[in-house]
Amino acid sequence: MTADVFAFTTNVEMHAASSTPRPAVRFVEVFVTPVSLGRGGGAGHRPGRMMPGPGPDSETDAVTDATTTGPTTRRGLSLTAICAAAGMVWLAFADLGVAVPAIADDLDAEMAALQWANNAFSLVTGALVIAAGKFGDIFGRRRMLSIGIVLFAAFSLVAALAPNVGTLIAGRALMGIGAALILPATLALIPAEFSGPAELTAFGVWQAVAWGGQAIGPAVGGLLTDTLGWPWLFWINLPVAALTYLALRVSTPESLDPHASRRIDWLGLVTIGLAIFALLFGLTAGPGVGWSDPLVVVLLVVSVLLAFSWYAIERRAAEPLVRLDLFRLRPYDAALTANLVMNLAFAGLSYLLVLWLQNVRGYDAVQAGLLLLPATVGIFVFIPRGSRMSARRGGRMPVLLGLVLLAGGLFVLGFLTDDVSLWLLAAGLLVIGVGLGLLSTPISDTAVGEVPPELSGAAAGFFKMSSMVGGALGVAVLSGLSEGFSTGGTLVITGLIVLAALLAVRQLWPKPHA
C-alpha cells in the first residue's frame, strides 16, 4: 500500500509495550500521479504549467522538449528505471517490520532498539528530501537519482553485513540519504520525460509501484527472512540497484534548470532539515514515551521555532533554497493539503486498525495485514479512473470526490465495535481505497507535473515531505485520540478532519475555466 505514505513515505512503528513484539505498521504513502493545475479547457485539454513569476526561458523548455519526444522504447525503459528506483525505496519502507523478531534473535538485540532501525530510515529521508529535490533542480535530476541509487546500494551492504544492532541502525539511517535523493528525482523526471496523456500514465505507473511496494513489502520481507535470512532484505537491493542504474544511464536524458545558481543556501538547508527531523522525531517518539516527556516537548517546540526561522531566512536569502512564491500557487497548496491529510488519515487508520485487530479481535500480524487489503484493492482499481477523470476534467473534481469518499469510509468504520462483522470493516476500507485511488494521480501531477520546470525538484521535495509529516502526524493524532475515545469514535473524528481539509482544498483550488 501507499499513499505515500506518504511515507513515513513513512514507517509507523507499533507500540512495543507488550511482551510479544508488535510488528511495525507501515505508513503507506501515496505518491500520486499527475494532474494538471489548470487543466480546465475542454476534454483532454492540458494547458501550460502554473507560473508563479517569470516563466522559464526557452533554454529551460528545450531540456524538457528534448526528453518528451524520444522513441517509445527508450522512454519505456526510462520509466521502468525511474519506477524501479522508487519501488526499491518503498519496499525498504515496508519489508523490515516482519523480520524484527529474527533480527533480534540473531543480533541479541532488544525490540525497542530495533524499532529505531525502522525509524532512522524514515527520519533521515524526511530531513533531507527537500534539499535533495533542490539539488536535482541545480545539478541534474538524473545525476541525483544515480547518486541516490549508488548510496542506497552501498549502505544496504553495510546493513546486510551488520554484526550488531548499532551498525544496522547506522546502515538503515544512511540508506535514508539515498532514499531522499531517489524519491523527488523520480517524481521530477516524469514531467521532464513525458508530456500530455503519457505524463498522466507515467505518474499512474509510479503510483501503482509505490502502493505495490508497500503492499507486498511485508510478504517479501517474510519470505526472504524465512528462506534466506534477514540480511537478504538488504542483499536484494544490490542487483536491483545495479540494473536500475544501468537502465537509467542508457535511457534517461539529464534534466535540470540550466540557469539555476550553483550557490547553495546552506543556512536554509540546515534549518529546514533540522526542523523536519525534530518534528518527525518528536511525532515518532511521542506515542511510545508519552507526549509530556520533556524530550518530545522540546523536539516539537524546536521544530516550530526552526520552521519560522527557515521562513525568515528564505525571505531574505539572495538565492533561497526554495522560492517562496511556489506557495502562492493555490492549486499547489491545495495538493499539499490534500496529500498531508490523506496520509494523516491512512497512516493513522492503518496503525489503529492493526492494533484493534490484534488486541481486540485476536488476529496475528499477518492476518491483520491481510484484512486491510480491501483498501489496496480499491486504490489499484481506481488509480486509472482518477487519471482519466483528471485528463478530461482537471484534477480538482477527482481530488474533492476522493476526499469525500475517504471521509465517508472513515464514517462507516465509525460503527466498529468489538464484535462487529468484518464485512463492515471490508466495506469501509474499500470505500477509503476508492477515494485514495481517485485523488492520488491528480495531486501528484498538480504538485510536481504542473509547476514551472525549474521548480519541479523543490516542489517534489516539499510534496514528499508533506507525505511523511502527514503519516507521522496521523499516528500521533489517532493514538492520542484513541486514549479518550473508542476506535470507532476516533475514526469518526478523523473523518471530520478530512472534511475540514476538503473545505480548505475546495477553497484553495480554483474551478477550471469553461
Q: Which of 140-144, 285-289, 373-377, 463-467 has the highest mean pLDDT?
A: 140-144
Residue linked to cell 519505456: 76
Predicted local distance difference test score (pLDDT) of residue 197: 79
Residue 375's nearest CA partner among 313, 430, 442, 418 is: 430
Task: Judge whether 189 lies within some domain.
Answer: yes
pLDDT-derived band at 38, boundaries 50, 70, 90: very low
Give Cα 302 to chain centroid, integer Å: 24
Helix (H/G/I), strand (E/B), else coil: 486: coil
- Neighbouring CB atoms inside 10 A of 363's CB total 17
Sequential DSSP letters for 412-435 = HHTT--TT--HHHHHHHHHHHHHH
Return d(Cα 52, Cα 316) in angstroms, integer: 18
pLDDT tens readout for residues 382-417: 988 988 888 888 888 999 999 999 999 999 999 988
Average pLDDT over residues 315-336: 86
* Per-residue pLDDT at 477 exceeds 80: yes
Specify the number of domains making up the chain. Answer: 1
Predicted local distance difference test score (pLDDT) of residue 49: 55
Residue 5's nearest CA partner among 506, 350, 354 is: 350
Task: Give the alpha-carbon dihedral of 173, 175, 178, 179, to 10 degrees.
Answer: -80
pLDDT tens readout for residues 160-198: 999 999 999 999 999 999 999 999 999 989 988 888 778
Polymer length of the chain: 514
Note whether 319 and 273 are within 8 A (CB).
no
Task: Judge whether 77 lies within some domain.
Answer: yes
Residue linked to cell 550553483: 262
Return d(Cα 25, Cα 10) in angstroms, integer: 10
Give Cα 272 to chain centroid, integer Å: 18
What CATH number does the domain containing 368 carry?
1.20.1250.20
Better-scored residue on pLDDT, 304 or 62:
304
Amino acid sitting at position 10: T
The DSSP bridge partners found for residue 25 are 12
- Neighbouring CB atoms inside 10 A of 450's CB total 27
Note whether 512 and 38 are within 8 A (CB).
yes
Return the minimum-mean-pLDDT range out of 37-51, 129-143, 237-251, 429-443. 37-51
Return the minimum-mean-pLDDT range out of 72-81, 226-235, 448-457. 448-457
Read off the C-alpha cell for 145: 537519482
Residue 257's nearest CA partner among 453, 51, 54 is: 453
Domain boundaries, position 339 = 11-40+61-264+321-508
Half-sphere exposure of 241 (CA within 13 A, CB side): 25
Return d(Cα 240, Cα 92) in angstroms, integer: 12
Predicted local distance difference test score (pLDDT) of residue 51: 54
Cite the beta strand spans of 60-192 per DSSP E. Answer: none
Predicted local distance difference test score (pLDDT) of residue 70: 52
Note whether 203 and 387 are within 8 A (CB).
yes
pLDDT tens readout for residues 425-436: 999 999 999 999
Helix (H/G/I), strand (E/B), else coil: 253: coil
pLDDT tens readout for residues 370-383: 888 898 889 889 98
Residue 436's nearest CA partner among 428, 246, 133, 121 is: 428
pLDDT-derived band at 231, boundaries 50, 70, 90: very high
Provide CB contacts within 8 A for 444, sequence distance 6+. 30, 31, 32, 33, 34, 35, 187, 203, 206, 207, 335, 339, 463
The DSSP bridge partners found for residue 29 are 5
* Per-residue pLDDT at 235 exceeds 70: yes
Task: Judge whether 399 lies within some domain.
Answer: yes
Better-scored residue on pLDDT, 420 or 14:
420
Return d(Cα 128, Cα 120) in angstroms, integer: 12
Return the minimum-mean-pLDDT range out of 145-149, 229-233, 480-484, 487-491. 480-484
* Per-residue pLDDT at 452 exceeds 50: yes
Task: Judge whether 176 lies within some domain.
Answer: yes
pLDDT tens readout for residues 483-505: 888 889 999 999 999 999 999 99
Read off the C-alpha cell for 351: 496503525
pLDDT-derived band at 52, boundaries 50, 70, 90: low
Return d(Cα 11, Cα 175) in angstroms, integer: 14
pLDDT tens readout for residues 84-106: 999 999 888 877 877 888 888 89
Task: Judge whether 76 lies within some domain.
Answer: yes
Q: Which of 21-25, 152-156, 186-190 has the highest mean pLDDT?
A: 152-156
Predicted local distance difference test score (pLDDT) of residue 274: 94
Average pLDDT over residues 466-485: 85
Average pLDDT value over all residues in the chain: 81
Better-scored residue on pLDDT, 66 or 269:
269
H or E, element range at 26: strand 25-26
Task: Judge whether 277 lies within some domain.
Answer: no
Predicted local distance difference test score (pLDDT) of residue 364: 76
* Per-residue pLDDT at 35 exceeds 80: no
Read off the C-alpha cell for 280: 518527525
Provide CB contacts within 8 A for 123, sequence distance 6+. 173, 176, 277, 280, 281, 284
Return d(Cα 181, Cα 417) in angstroms, integer: 43
Half-sphere exposure of 485 (CA within 13 A, CB side): 18
Taking each helix axis from N to C end, the angle separating 456-481 and 111-139, rounded to the nearest 10 degrees, works out to 160
The DSSP bridge partners found for residue 12 are 25
Task: Judge whether 283 lies within some domain.
Answer: no
Classify the C-alpha dihedral 80-212-127-459 as positive or negative.
Answer: positive
Average pLDDT over residues 463-472: 86
Read off the C-alpha cell for 158: 553495510
Rounded to two decimals, the pTM is 0.77
Predicted local distance difference test score (pLDDT) of residue 350: 84
Task: Judge whether 49 lies within some domain.
Answer: no
Task: Give the alpha-carbon dihedral of 42, 47, 53, 59, to 10 degrees.
Answer: -170
Return d(Cα 384, Cα 201) in angstroms, integer: 8
Return d(Cα 480, Cα 291) in angstroms, integer: 9
**Distances in whole angstroms, Cα of residue 92 to Cα of each of 28, 207, 351:** 12, 16, 18
